[in-house]
Amino acid sequence: MKLTFLLHAVLSVGLVSSVTLSALPTHAQTPQNSPTSLEISTDTHESFSLTIPPLGSTSNAQQRENRLMSHSELNPTGRFVKTGTQLTIEVTSEPNTELFLGIGMKGVYTDLNTGKDTGITTHPLNPGKNLVTSSVDGMVYLINRSDSLTSKATITGGTPAPFFRLHETSENDWQTMLNTRGNSLFTEIQGDRTFLTIRTDLVKKHLKKPAAELVSYFDTVVKLTNEVYGLQDNATGVAHKQKHRIHLATPDTGGGYAHATNGHLGFMTSTGAATDLLRGNIADQWGLWHEIGHTYQTPQYRWDGLGEVTVNISSLYVQEKLGYPNRLSSRKADIKNFLSQVQNGRTYDEENDLFVKLGLFEQLRIAYGDNFFPRLSQEYRVHNALHQSESNTSTQQQQLILNASRVAQRDLSTYFKNWGLTVSAETAQKLAEFPLSQFPFGTISFQIKRLLTALSPNIHFHEDPSTPHHTLSS
Ligand SMILES: [Zn+2]
């Protein structure tokens, strides 16, 4: 089953990969697969019922989508419990060995679990009545790791939490919940692609906009990030984005201003990141774009020194699509300076400025358009599915040069050399099948000029890969 699926994915991609830059392989599926109809739920003060579709394991999805970190398997239920609380879970669907109750929090909270990070404790659920006494303090979730079985469960007990669900909860009901359920320490706000777990008092104090607007904004950032990586809700094969949500957690303390890890993102209260999230769509929301970006980074071009570089390929895209000025536009002088040093022997790997290094990637998007990274990502996903990924820095660099050239249908060796990367003789030979890029990377000065021009709005330079160039630029 799995092999067939994979083979189909590879074949369907392989057929179109060298045809055009402008269209990604899309295979329409039935509309009920849209993320807005993930599950059916009923929420009352006494109990919460949820029908959860099978989305499979988050690590399998991560692997197939070729992303750095897994997304969340948790389905919020709007219940909060303290240690020792008994919950009743009635499972009314067929036996599913991959159905679990999850209880806990992501990260450290001073007044929960004696200040320790307990993570999520899981309890298998059987058909019929299940009684679970919580061994931790935290929010209550349902988890369905099955690839094929839809499950249904009703949870009774615990403290009902203010719980906003996009498309289902009205702003009026939400405001009422914030009052009637205000004794729950935590609140959850759920969208199609994200959900936020946050202290109720922070929401009451700092959320100044409708909950639907806030969570729709989070969803939009994820949607844009999917876009730049060429992942689609309705695609089949490796370009399909599985509908696991991204969990925005808000621990009291933790590493950095905010951080990303498998299963959740942490936006700390202590650093102000938690309240910054509640400000929604503002120009300075880089932290959100960046942490989401980490979960999507392509592992095969994230060699030493690129961990905090390629993460921002999507941050820049999100920034631009939301209508804010491109952050690299203020770094042109530094990029120009670095590129002039390459002429005197400096290499890409010697550069420490993360935003200068990001220029190598952003310039490819500017040159070849918004379809460049979706196609490059798809190329890598196919290689990954065929176990053709490279694992060390020098082979990964050659693979990037090859794959980028293949996607552009141009020999980009000069471009990468100008950025201080080495093009091996073997790579150069493989690139001989492509015309040299007409995009004028030939001289540093022209390269800079193009970068400066392209970063200004409304001017884009696209090569048409479908038209062979008979006269090559020297
Ligand atoms: Zn980072």
CA of 291 to the centre of ligand 1 (A): 6
The DSSP-derived string for 256-281 is SSEEEETTEEEE-TTTTHHHHHTT-S
How high is the pLDDT of residue 266?
98
pLDDT score, position 461: 32
| Alpha carbon of 417 to ligand 1 centroid (Å) | 27
> pLDDT at position 439, please?
55
Cα–Cα distance measured from residue 222 to residue 218, given in angstroms and rounded to the nearest whole number: 7
- What is the CA(313)–ligand 1 centre distance, in A? 12
Going from the Cα of 210 to the center of ligand 1, the distance in angstroms, rounded, reads 29
Rounded to the nearest 10°, the torsion over CA 300, 306, 307, 313 is -80
Report the Cα 365 to chain-centroid distance in Å: 18
pTM for the full predicted model: 0.87
CB-based contact 234:27 (threshold 8 Å):
yes
The answer to whether residues 123 and 101 touch, using CB atoms and an 8 Å cutoff, is yes
Task: Compute the distance from residue 266 Cα to the ligand 1 centre, in Å.
Answer: 12
Distance 290 CA to ligand 1 centre (A): 6
- For residue 409, report the distance from its CA to the centre of ligand 1, in Å: 32
CA of 67 to the centre of ligand 1 (A): 15
Contact by Cβ (8 Å): 125, 145: no
Can you give the pLDDT at residue 22? 32
Using the mean position of ligand 1's atoms as its centre, give its distance from the Cα of residue 312 in Å: 8
Q: How far is the CA of 201 from the centre of ligand 1 (A)?
A: 28
- Give the E-state strand segments of 134-274 in sequence order: 138-144, 151-156, 159-160, 163-165, 186-190, 194-199, 246-249, 258-261, 264-267
pLDDT, tens digit only, all 474 positions of the chain: 333 333 333 333 333 333 233 333 333 333 334 444 467 889 988 999 999 999 999 999 999 999 999 999 999 999 999 999 999 999 999 999 999 999 999 999 999 999 999 999 999 999 999 999 999 999 999 999 999 999 999 999 999 999 999 999 999 999 999 999 988 999 999 999 999 999 999 999 999 999 999 999 999 999 999 999 999 999 988 999 999 999 999 999 999 999 999 999 999 999 999 999 999 999 999 999 999 999 999 999 999 999 999 999 999 999 999 999 999 988 888 998 998 899 899 999 999 999 999 999 998 888 888 889 999 999 999 999 888 888 899 999 999 999 999 988 889 998 899 999 999 999 999 999 988 776 544 333 334 444 444 433 322 333 333 333 222 222
163 contacts 78 by C-beta, under 8 angstroms: yes
- CA proximity to 260, closest of 457, 68, 459: 68
- CA distances from residue 47 to 41, 53, 96, 157, 241 in whole angstroms, order as listed: 11, 20, 22, 7, 31
For ligand 1, a single-atom ion, the residues with CB < 5 A are: 308
